[in-house]
Structure formats: C-alpha cells, structure tokens
A = this chain, B = another copy of it.
Amino acid sequence: MNEFQRIAAFLEAFSLRPSPGGPGDDAALLPPTKHQQVVTTDAVVEGVHFSRQTFRLADIGHKALAVNLSDVAAMGAKPTWAVCALQLPVGFSDKDLRALSSGMAALAAAHGVSLIGGNVTKASQLSVTVTLAGEVPLGRRAMTRSGARPGHRVYVSGPLGSASAGLEVLSNAKRQPSSRGPVKVDPSWEALVLAQRSPSPHVRWGLEAARFASAGVDVSDGLVQDLGHVCEASEVGMSLETGALPVLEALLLWCASEKHVHRHALTGGEDYVLAVTVPPSRAREFEQRLSAVGQGAFPIGVVTRTRRLTVDGRERSGRGGYQHF
C-alpha cells in the first residue's frame, strides 16, 4: 500500500464529517468559532507506553486518543476535532492498521470527535501521536490549575491506582506468554488491566465539574505529582487522607499490603482520572449535580494555606510519580 491507501485504510472506521475544504487538501479547514478552544498533544510509543504482547492494536488506538481526551476533560472542555500522526514499522499490515484504527474510531465516535487530518510515515517503532482540540461551552470558563484557594475541597472523579496496578498484572502475565495475541490475565484483575489498556476518559465529568471547580487537573502522572502542580500554580498546599482515596476492590485484592495500595493510589501513573478543587460554598451543589448525571465525586482532602502537600499529616514531595525520563 502507498501512503494514500494507508490513510484510506486508517480512515475507513471513522465517520468523517465533510470538511469545507474537501478531503485530501494540504490542511483541514474549520469554520470560525465563538468558543474558547483548548488544544493538547500526546503520543503513545511502543516499548514506552505499550507493548504488543500486552496490548491489542485496538487498545493502542483507543489509548492514544484517550490520553488526549483526558487532558481536554481536565480543562472542562468538550472535545471537537483531532489529527493523528502515525509512525508505522516495516511489516505493519493493512489488517494491523484497521485494528489500530477501530479502537480510536470507536472512542472518537463515543465522544463526538471528528478526525480532520493526519500523517503516516514509516519508523522503526510503532507510535501514535494525537493532537486534540476542544471547545469551552459558551458562557463558561475553562478549568485551569491556578484557582485553588485555602479551604476548597479536593475531589477526584474515580478510582485511583488501577492503571499502574494493571501494568503490574500485565508484566507478571507476560512471563507466561500465550501463543497468539496479547497475554491473557486472570479475570479477577480485569478491571485493573482495563484501566491500563483501555482507559475511559472522564469527559462528561470534566464538563460538569468545570461549572463548580476553582481548579482542575488530569491525574495521569500520579495523584501527588499532579496535585503538586495545582498547589504550585495556585500557591497553596493540600491535606489528603489515604482513607478517603477511592480504589477498586481488585486493587485491594491485588496488593499485598495497605502500603502497596497507597503507593498505587498516590503515585501510580496513567489513571486518567480528574482531580478538582471546589469552594466549600458550592460543594453540596457540585456533589448533587454530579450525582444527578450519574457520576461519582470522591472528596479526598482540602486545600491549605501552608504550601505543603501532606498525606495523613505527613509531607510528600511531588516525586514518586511517573517520570518520563
């Protein structure tokens, strides 16, 4: 297949909105917009973010978009369009490409994201780089990291530590490789593995939370590290309680000790959960609204004036989260 056939194969799974410029132009053409826009870019790279022993190709396509959706969600924006730059190793087949595409297309459709452009090149290593845009609903403000004030409550959107535990599960399973496709894991750990391989970005949660929150962030590098960024940008501290951290029952079963549970929940990367701070005057309404739309909101602590992040009263540095280098 040449480049154009490869692009066509990749695009098959997507339902494409016609662009005013028509497909195949040098760039996609978008109409003017009354909305504030948000833009983010993130990549998943073979051997760094996934291996083909532990991920299906559809998972890789899904995750490449999911990590970007989580960033847009953390801004309280509605995802709109994406472009996708693929680096494909020699021997990456037509069938492989369609499998990769199917995972991304399904998630794009679920969130109303239009794929408006892309690029395909060969490389030694499979990677998928997505740039995703979103729009801030009219009359609302984007969530940023700098608005947390002492006394505001800290909430997260879902269970913590699942994805990093899922990686442990997959690493262990890898030692007994099955003959075909990605490794099989014990059903007990399926929820952990799912969080690692196929995370569900909390887009609806972010849109609702932005109406109440003073600050928001995406917990992708570990809770302590990411909340550390909010503390720094807002010039505040936080006091968190381990007893309040939401975790899956599977995580409790997987971990040998409470310490191990807390390590995952506090420093495990790739959860793609959102964390926000909410003024106490709006906390009740916030919780009611999230509950009304079928979403959970888990209070885990409070913003403090002293610029330290403490867990059960003990100071934590931002270190210990996921380090990219």
Could you list which residues of chain A lie within 8 angstroms of chain B, going by C-beta atoms? Answer: 1-3, 6, 20-22, 24-43, 45, 47-49, 70-72, 74-75, 77, 81, 83-85, 87, 116-125, 127, 129, 131, 134, 136, 142, 144-146, 216-218, 229, 233, 323-325
Contact = CB atoms under 8 A, between A and B. Distances in A.
B87 A42 contact: no
A233 B35 CA distance: 32
Given A24-B229, A32-B35, A34-B32, A122 B41 contact: no
Contact of A37 (B1, B30, B35, B42): B30
Nearest to A74: B26
B122 A233 contact: no
Contacts of A324: 2-3, 6, 120-122
Contacts of A146: 22
Contact of A41 (B32, B77, B117): B117
B325 A45 contact: no
Contact of A43 (B37, B39, B87): B87
A75 B40 contact: no
A36 B29 contact: yes
A145 B119 CA distance: 18
6 pairs of A and B residues whose beta carbons are closest in the complex: A3-B324, A27-B40, A131-B131, A26-B74, A27-B38, A26-B71
Contacts of A74: 25-27
A87 B47 CA distance: 12
A27 to B, nearest CB: 4
Given A3-B323, A87-B45, A117-B41, A24 B131 contact: no
A137 to B, nearest CB: 12
Contact of A28 (B35, B38, B47): B38
A40 B83 contact: yes
Contacts of A323: 2-3
